[in-house]
Amino acid sequence: MMTKVKTQGLVTDLMPNIKLMQAAGHFLFNYHSDNSGMSMLLRKVYSSVHAVLIVVNYVCMAINMAQYSDEVNELTANTITVLFFAHSVIKLLFFALNSKSFYRTLAIWNQSNSHPLFTESDARYHQLALTKMRRLLYCICGVTVLSVASWVTLTFFGESVRFIANKETNETMTEPAPRLPLKAWYPFNTMSGTMYIAAFALQIYWLLFSMAIANLLDVMFCSWLIFACEQLQHLKAIMKPLMELSASLDTYRPNTAELFRASSTEKSEKVPDPVDLDIRGIYSTQQDFGITLRGAGGKLQTFGQPTPNNPNGLTQKQEMLARSAIKYWVERHKHVVRLVASIGDTYGTALLFHMLISTITLTLLAYQATKIDGVNVYAFSTLGYLTYTLGQVFHFCIFGNRLIEESSSVMEAAYSCQWYDGSEEAKTFVQIVCQQCQKAMSISGAKFFTVSLDLFASVLGAVVTYFMVLVQLK
Amino acid sequence: MSLAGSCVALHLRFLRCCGYCRLAGGDGYPPLLRWLHHAYRYFALALMTAYLLQQCVYAYQEQTDMDKLARVMFLLLCHVTSITKQIVFHVDAERIDEMITGLDDRLYNEVSEKQAQLLSTTCVRAARLVRVYTGTAFITCTLWIVFPILEYANGRPVDFPFWAGIDYNHSSIRFLLVLLYSYYATSLEGIANTTMDAFIATILYQCQTQLKILRMNIEILPDRARAIVKKESNQKYEAVLWKLFIECLTHYKKITSTSKILQDIFGTVILIQFAIGGWTLCMAAYKLVSLNVLSIEFASITLFIMCIFIELLLFCYYGNEVKVESDRLVESLYAMQWLGTPLRFQRSLLVFMERAKQPLRPVAGRIIPLSLETFLTIIKSSYTFYAVLRQTK
């Protein structure tokens, strides 16, 4: 009986995605419960076989493109297909070469800090993130399967021909070609018979797996961004109680008991780890504790009694909870900044390649779109390619944009809470946080561009411009 | 030479051999040697100016022949950028020396072991860059003298892309003289030009490394202060913290001033380089498409295009790196354990963060930032020029 692999942090949240990636043939060998030599070898063989099949079929498609490059329309169509699937090959190779970086990013959230007063909010936003990630995964999986199904269906409509240029008369002729989803050169004759069925089956498998490879990696990237955004939401949500806690230390407030309610009752679904309630888990060194006390002005002499230094009559434990709240907030925010930096380092180059290839593909598609002359197979396939490519770009642009928005709105949350009632320490904390949050956290494509809706808008605008210009030139 | 200063050691050696950069002030060179080197530098400048004028005369003579004009133009333009840099090295020699000795500063070189590792990696990479880049330029120049030799050996008339004033096609000695002159001038220019570019890029690279070191120091500032207080119990925590903070501030000021001096000295030159680089790329591409793929000339023009490409990319890439690194300064300031430090320190940290929010953006000619976006813009414009040029053919 295989024991369930013990995972934590991001890996637990992304386990379905990881399992799907392993099934699709990515070179993802961690996070298995059984790490014996034999199963490792089997997994490596599995991934290698997939990789070889994918690359070989891709090369066959490229050979086909080179073979029939005389006729412009045929060449354009084949180039678009080749570029379209270049994403899969690149992402497969990228992951294989960069897997350490991916593992590092997945492991960043393995240890996260906690605070008794904020565990409920933390759990709530974590659950939100989880739901969104799952929903995204199902959605993209559905789209992939739907795309493959519609591609295969479309194969059976229309004439199965290819265009060649007649060298003498310079006219375009049509020549019968095998009715397969993808035009590729095979060493065997695929016009009919068992070879045809074999080639068809191979191509269905190939379509499904290559699209899955490309899309699952994008989903992982977007899931990371969703997680980071929800963490920022959590931080924004606890800013107000944080300020009130800080204010309760040296200003009289009428309902301080309410603020500490979360620590006295354990009403959250997730039972907090015993170490959460242990104050030692919050402060790492005696020095921190000592200096904070000095900074806030004075030791507390008596507990439970309102004194000039303790106007609300907090117990020692409550006072420590209040003081440690700011530390929790700052450490959690720094953790999120580290996560986003790691995401950018890991996936930036892949985004750059994606955008490069998508730009060329979209330019060619704009040209193809000008030749649509009715509701036929050609129109459907061109529009299909267009929507899919634009959809892929939109997919990561929207999440990148959300990250930018969330991270810059932290400053507004900091300002909108009652910072003026907080202690000097709290006010300086708000100032420093605002300084950091003025520069929004963004993902850059290897420092060339920023992933945001502006990027998508510029890409879409370029496509529309090319299309309009080309239509005019016709 | 200090660790930080030695990153440009190889560049300076090449430049001094070519007669572009003056000898170091403090070294014990006898006055006679210094004077001779001074004269050599003026000779190099005169030679380059003469060669440029010869090319201009040739261009004027052949203004109707598009092919020959293209051939001489892209060399001429390259030469113009090289001469502007040479003039800058002559005129601003004082400030360049100041910048180089500034690299030996204590602030740049008092580093921990891990940071010293970073500095030596910088030196190794900078040396590799200059060797590869200058080597490529030298090979290109050598390839360029191969075809005149081949053509002369085959008895065909040779046409050097500059006005020689003498008929070299019918006398071996004259041909050899002109050939040697051409080879000397072009290789000197090629080596010196590429070394000067690598020099500027290396200073930017050093700024980036220093920013990395500064960020490393900032992130562990309170921890370092604590370690010092533990070791020397007579020091007070707050005083040590303050001292280390001021050191980081001064380090940052020094990096900013190095970058500013570099910008002041070379800003205009880099601007001219960008303007001409795009144009040169398109002319070279225009020449390239009319050649046979397997000929030596094709290879040499490809190498030349690569050199221009790398020239532009060098500035843009390292300028971009400096900007990216300085952008992350605020993150590093935030990442240190400021929670728990005295309020007075936190408020000063705020002022530093405010200053650090302005990224260190090296600019060319005060307008064009050295970044990857600029690089993409130049490539796009150069392709546009090329397309227009092809249309007018």
Q: Give the model's pLDDT for residue B386.
A: 79
Which residues lie below 8 Å from residue A14, measured CB to CB, with a gap of 6+? Answer: A106, A133, A220, A223
What is the tally of structural domains in chain B?
A: 1
Q: Rounded CA gap, A286 and A20, in Å?
A: 46
Contact between B331 and A337 using a beta-carbon 8 Å cutoff: yes
Q: Give the model's pLDDT for residue A266.
A: 37
Minimal C-alpha gap between B345 and chain A (Å): 10
Q: Is residue A295 within 8 angstroms of chain B, CB to CB?
A: yes
**A8 vs A272, which has greater pLDDT?**
A8
H-helix or E-strand spanning residue A312: none
Q: How far is CA A125 from the centre of its chain?
A: 17
pLDDT band at B196 (very low <50, low <70, confident <90, very high): very high
- Which residue in chain A has the smallest CA separation from B341? A291
- Residues 14-53 of chain B with CB under 8 A from chain A are none
Provide mean pLDDT across the span A432-436.
88
**In this structure, are residues A115 and A323 in contact, taking their beta carbons and an 8 Å threshold?**
no
Q: What is the mean pLDDT of chain B?
A: 87
What is the tally of structural domains in chain A?
A: 1
Name the least confident of A469-473, B45-49, B83-87. Answer: A469-473
Provide mean pLDDT across the span A207-212.
94
SS3 B4: coil
Percentage of residues in chain B having pLDDT higher than 90: 34
Q: Give the model's pLDDT for residue A307.
A: 66
| Residue A283 pLDDT greater than 60, yes or no | no
State pLDDT tens for residues A102-155: 999 999 999 889 998 899 999 999 999 999 999 999 999 999 999 999 999 988
Provide mean pLDDT across the span A379-399.
94
Q: Is A79 part of a structural domain of the chain?
A: yes
Across-strand partners of A444? A450
Q: How many CB atoms lie within 10 A of CB B211?
A: 26
Max intra-chain CA distance, chain A: 104
Say if residue A451 is exposed, middle or buried (CB neighbours under 10 Å; 0-12, 13-18, 19+): buried
Q: Is residue B358 within 8 angstroms of chain A, CB to CB?
A: no
Which residues lie below 8 Å from residue A24, measured CB to CB, with a gap of 6+? Answer: A50, A209, A212, A213, A216
Q: What is the mean pLDDT of chain A?
A: 84
State pLDDT tens for residues A233-245: 999 999 988 888 8
Provide the residue range defining the domain that includes B195. 3-392
Q: Rounded CA gap, B54 and B50, in Å?
A: 6
| Residue A86 pLDDT greater than 80, yes or no | yes
| Residue A281 pLDDT greater than 80, yes or no | no
Minimal C-alpha gap between A304 and chain B (Å): 25
Q: How many CB atoms lie within 10 A of CB B319?
A: 30
- Which residue in chain A has the smallest CA separation from B329? A436
Q: Rounded CA gap, A327 and A333, in Å?
A: 10
Q: How far is CA A250 from the centre of its chain?
A: 43
Q: Rounded CA gap, B349 and B358, in Å?
A: 15
Q: Are strands A172-176 and A161-165 parallel, antiparallel or unpaired?
A: antiparallel
H-helix or E-strand spanning residue B283: helix B237-288
Say if residue A339 is exposed, middle or buried (CB neighbours under 10 Å; 0-12, 13-18, 19+): buried
State pLDDT tens for residues B136-177: 888 888 888 887 888 888 887 777 777 777 777 777 888 888
Q: Is residue B347 within 8 angstroms of chain A, CB to CB?
A: yes
| Residue B195 pLDDT greater than 90, yes or no | yes
Site from A432, A434, A439, A454 to mutate, B interface, most B CB atoms within 10 angstroms: A432
Q: Is residue A341 within 8 angstroms of chain B, CB to CB?
A: yes
Q: Give the model's pLDDT for residue A285.
A: 42
Q: Give the model's pLDDT for residue A295.
A: 37
- Which residue in chain A has the smallest CA separation from B339? A327
Smallest CA-to-CA distance from B374 within B386, B362, B387 is with B362
Q: Is A193 part of a structural domain of the chain?
A: yes
Q: Rounded CA gap, B219 and B237, in Å?
A: 17
State pLDDT tens for residues B265-314: 999 999 998 888 888 888 787 777 777 777 777 877 888 788 888 888 99
Set of chain A residues whose Cβ sits within 8 Å of the Cβ of B353: 432, 435-436
Find the helix packing angle between A377-416 and A453-473, rounded to 10°: 150
Provide the residue range defining the domain that includes A164. 10-247+313-473
Which residues lie below 8 Å from residue A130, measured CB to CB, with a gap of 6+? Answer: A13
Set of chain A residues whose Cβ sits within 8 Å of the Cβ of B341: 291, 295
Provide mean pLDDT across the span A251-279.
53
Q: Give the model's pLDDT for residue A263.
A: 46
Q: Is A294 part of a structural domain of the chain?
A: no
Question: For residue B157, what is the DSSP state?
Answer: P
Q: How far is CA A299 from the centre of its chain?
A: 47
Q: Rounded CA gap, B350 and B356, in Å?
A: 10
Q: Is residue A297 within 8 angstroms of chain B, CB to CB?
A: no
Set of chain A residues whose Cβ sits within 8 Å of the Cβ of B350: 428, 431-432, 435
What are the angstrom distances between the C-alpha of B20 and each of B14, B91, B312, B359? 9, 11, 21, 33
| Residue A455 pLDDT greater than 70, yes or no | yes
Q: Which residue has the tokens 């007579």?
A: B234
Q: Rounded CA gap, A134 and A14, in Å?
A: 8
Set of chain B residues whose Cβ sits within 8 Å of the Cβ of A425: 343
Where do the H-state alpha helices sit in A370-452? 377-416, 424-438
| Residue A286 pLDDT greater than 60, yes or no | no
Q: Give the model's pLDDT for residue A308.
A: 63
Q: What is the DSSP string of A26-81?
A: -S---S-S---HHHHHHHHHHHHHHHHHHHHHHHHHHHHHHHT-SSHHHHHHHHHH
Query: Which tokens is B183 given?
Result: 């080879």
State pLDDT tens for residues B26-79: 667 788 888 888 899 999 999 999 999 988 888 888 888 877 777 788 788 888
- Which residue in chain A has the smallest CA separation from B219? A334
Query: Phi and psi at residue A158, in whole multiples of 5°?
Result: 75, 180
Which residues lie below 8 Å from residue A12, measured CB to CB, with a gap of 6+? Answer: none
Q: Is A165 part of a structural domain of the chain?
A: yes
Q: Give the model's pLDDT for residue A304.
A: 55
Q: Is A261 part of a structural domain of the chain?
A: no
Which residues lie below 8 Å from residue B134, measured CB to CB, with a gap of 6+? Answer: B14, B190, B191, B194, B195, B198
| Residue B250 pLDDT greater than 70, yes or no | yes
Which residues lie below 8 Å from residue A42, measured CB to CB, with a gap of 6+? Answer: none
- Residues 409-468 of chain A with CB under 8 A from chain B are 424-425, 428-429, 431-432, 435-436, 438-439, 447-448
Q: Is residue B334 within 8 angstroms of chain A, CB to CB?
A: yes
Q: Give the model's pLDDT for residue A303.
A: 44
Provide mean pLDDT across the span B122-143.
90
pLDDT band at A1 (very low <50, low <70, confident <90, very high): very low
Set of chain A residues whose Cβ sits within 8 Å of the Cβ of B349: 432
Q: Give the model's pLDDT for residue B259.
A: 93
Q: Give the model's pLDDT for residue B137.
A: 86
Q: Indicate whether this complex's ipTM tops 0.90.
A: no
Minimal C-alpha gap between B336 and chain A (Å): 9
**In this structure, are residues B95 and B261 in contact, taking their beta carbons and an 8 Å threshold?**
yes
Contact between B324 and A432 using a beta-carbon 8 Å cutoff: no
Q: Is A18 part of a structural domain of the chain?
A: yes
For A432, which of B327, B353, B376 is closest by C-beta distance? B353
Minimal C-alpha gap between A343 and chain B (Å): 15
Q: Is residue A301 within 8 angstroms of chain B, CB to CB?
A: no
Provide mean pLDDT across the span B350-375.
89
Chain A and chain B share a number of CB contacts under 8 A equal to: 59
Q: Give the model's pLDDT for residue B71.
A: 74
Provide mean pLDDT across the span A26-49.
87
Q: Give the model's pLDDT for residue A52.
A: 95
Minimal C-alpha gap between A436 and chain B (Å): 6
Q: Give the model's pLDDT for residue A340.
A: 95
Across-strand partners of A310? A307
Q: Rounded CA gap, B315 and B205, in Å?
A: 10
Q: Is residue A189 within 8 angstroms of chain B, CB to CB?
A: no
Set of chain B residues whose Cβ sits within 8 Å of the Cβ of A338: 335
State pLDDT tens for residues B377-392: 888 888 887 777 777 7
**In this structure, are residues B337 and A334 in contact, taking their beta carbons and an 8 Å threshold?**
no
Q: Rounded CA gap, A447 and A349, in Å?
A: 9
**In this structure, are residues A250 and A309 in contact, taking their beta carbons and an 8 Å threshold?**
yes
Q: Is residue B327 within 8 angstroms of chain A, CB to CB?
A: yes
Site from B327, B334, B376 to mutate, A interface, most A CB atoms within 10 angstroms: B334
Q: Is residue B238 within 8 angstroms of chain A, CB to CB?
A: no
Q: Which of A160-169, B126-135, B152-161 has the highest mean pLDDT?
A: B126-135
For B350, which of A292, A327, A435 is closest by C-beta distance? A435
**In this structure, are residues A208 and A148 in contact, taking their beta carbons and an 8 Å threshold?**
yes
Q: Which residue has the tokens 């040396």?
A: B127
For A448, which of B331, B357, B372 is closest by C-beta distance? B372
Contact between A448 and B373 using a beta-carbon 8 Å cutoff: yes
Contact between B334 and A439 using a beta-carbon 8 Å cutoff: no
Q: Give the model's pLDDT for residue A306.
A: 65
- Residues 228-257 of chain A with CB under 8 A from chain B are none
